[in-house]
Amino acid sequence: MLKDVLLNSEAIKIGDFVLTSGKKSSYYVDIKEAATDPKVLNAISVEISKNITAQKIAGMELGAVPLVVSVSLLRIIPYVILRKERSHGTKKLTVGKIGAGEEIDMIEDVVTTGNSLLKAINIVRDNGGVVKRAVCVVDRMDGGSELMRENGVELIPLLKISDLENIS
């Protein structure tokens, strides 16, 4: 069960943290660190794969990259990596091709407010892709699901933070 895999991998850290959203939290869901273990990455990717319906997937650097690559290999479908900024190389925000009208499922590690995920979705949409679904490993249940719904995207969390020992 994924919940046990994450808890055993010590993906849940207790302390004082500032999240990407800028919010402060007494816990941190560290999927990036946990996914460096191939057994954990595989367990997460197998569960994400069960929820993918599009023939292409995408995710934002850094947290989604190992998840997207692993799911791509499991499903044998292409992927797109989204950059946070146009700082180097080709200065494009996308690595991989997005066809006009092509449906793409998004993958994210953790969703809090949903703002980072929405930014990634908008990059795909600005490049001609269609996003209707996003799969995340953990939904921190802090408005992300609602923001996705408001923007025409179904958020599918593998786990909600309330599933992980009631730490929220």
pLDDT of residue 87: 72
Which percentage of the chain shows pLDDT scores above 90?
Answer: 84
The pLDDT value given to residue 107:
98
The CATH number of whichever domain residue 148 belongs to comes to 3.40.50.2020
Nearest CA to 115 out of 23, 22, 21, 27 is that of: 21
The residue-averaged pLDDT of 129-141 equals 97
| pTM for the predicted model, two decimal places | 0.94
User: 6 vs 29, 42, 98, 102, 115, CA distance in Å?
Assistant: 9, 12, 32, 33, 24
Q: Which amino acid is at 83?
A: R
Residue 94: inside a domain, yes or no? yes
CA distances from 58 to 27, 97, 138, 144 (A): 27, 10, 17, 18
Residue 29 and residue 140 in contact, taking contact as beta carbons nearer than 8 Å:
yes
Residue 97 placed within a domain: yes
Query: Which pLDDT band, with edges at 50, 70 and 90, does 167 fall under?
Result: low
Q: How far apart are the first and last CA of the chain?
A: 20
Average pLDDT of span 87-112: 92
Lowest pLDDT segment from 27-31, 144-148, 163-167: 163-167
The answer to whether position 152 is within a domain reads yes
Task: Tell whether 27 is covered by a domain.
Answer: yes
Q: pLDDT-derived band of residue 165, with 50, 70 and 90 as boundaries?
A: low
pLDDT (average), residues 150-165: 93
Residue 90: its pLDDT value, please? 75
- Has residue 44 been placed in a domain? yes
Two structure tokens written together for 154: 């179904």
How does the average pLDDT of the chain come out, rounded? 94
In a domain, 168, yes or no: no
Q: What integer is the mean pLDDT of 137-160?
A: 97
Across the range 101-118, mean pLDDT stands at: 97
Distance, in Å, from the CA atom of 146 to the CA atom of 92, rounded to the nearest integer, reads 29
Nearest Cα residue to 117 out of 50, 71, 59 = 59
| pLDDT, position 20 | 83
Domain of residue 124: give its range.
2-163
Residue 22: the pLDDT is 85
- 90-126 burial, b at 16+ Cβ within 10 Å, e below that, comes to eeebbebebeeebebbbbbbbbbbbebbbebbebbbe
Asked whether 32 and 13 are in contact (CB, 8 A), the reply is: no
Residue 143 belongs to some domain of the structure: yes
Distance CA 2, CA 86 (A): 35
